[in-house]
Amino acid sequence: MKVKEIFNSDFAIYYEKVINRLTSPIQIDKWRKTLVKGAVALRPDAVTVVDCCSGAGNVGKFYLKENPRAVLINCDISRPLLGLAKENFATNQNVFCVCSDNRFFPIKDRSVDILFSSFCVRNSPEPLLTVEEAKRVIKKGGVWAILDFFKLERDDACTVANNFIFRFFMKLNGIVVPSYSEAINYLFESIENFYTAREFRKVLLKFGFTVVKLKEFMGGIASVLIAIKEEV
């Protein structure tokens, strides 16, 4: 599986310790805070929270600032990144880390108050299975908070400029570390083969979710969708 190989390689650590640390203070932490605050506004007293494709726990750290008493379960297919998450949450007794494919969550049916997924569904070999799993584990009235890069559906000046900056930065990493160029090319391919944010909103509706918030960043390159599970 290409995705599994990429995120269990040295590239996963490079992405977290170099790319993520460079971009988070500029852009991505803003996206994560929007994601977390949108979910907390709907379920302020959540008890069980799952962060699917948690990586090193970047979303979880913001969430626990809002609700430190919740049980947080970090799920990811990447053992290297989960290792970093365990280090980051070493002092938190209510945080757990589980190695898991995003198509098969080791979580009970209808047991989750909030499910976070950052840059997750797009990386699934079978995105609709991932959506089905989300529907299975989230309680009725529970929240699915999604952050991802989506396929662009417009080409206005803002979007074109931001897309150029985004691609240039990522390509530059492939030049600096040529061995990671394949993984970076995969990122671009995965976006082109994914849904637009509005197409994905329709997918969620078909699976019984109502999207109550759609927030675009960088002209639509990244989007946050906050959805409520309406069906049992």
pLDDT tens for residues 39-89?
999 999 999 999 999 999 999 999 999 999 999 999 999 999 999 999 999
Q: What is the mean pLDDT of residues 154-165?
A: 87
What angle do the packed helices 58-66 and 29-42 form, to 10 degrees?
Answer: 40
Read off the pTM: 0.95
pLDDT more than 90, % of the chain: 88
Q: Which domains does the chain have, with CATH numbers?
A: 2-229 (3.40.50.150)
pLDDT at 156: 85
3-state secondary structure 160-210: HHHHHHHHHHHHHHHHHCHHHHHHHHHHHHHHHCCCCHHHHHHHHHHCCEE
d(CA 71, CA 67): 9
pLDDT at 232: 63
pLDDT at 54: 97
DSSP 8-state code for residue 78: -
pLDDT tens for residues 91-130?
999 999 999 999 999 999 999 999 999 999 999 999 999 9
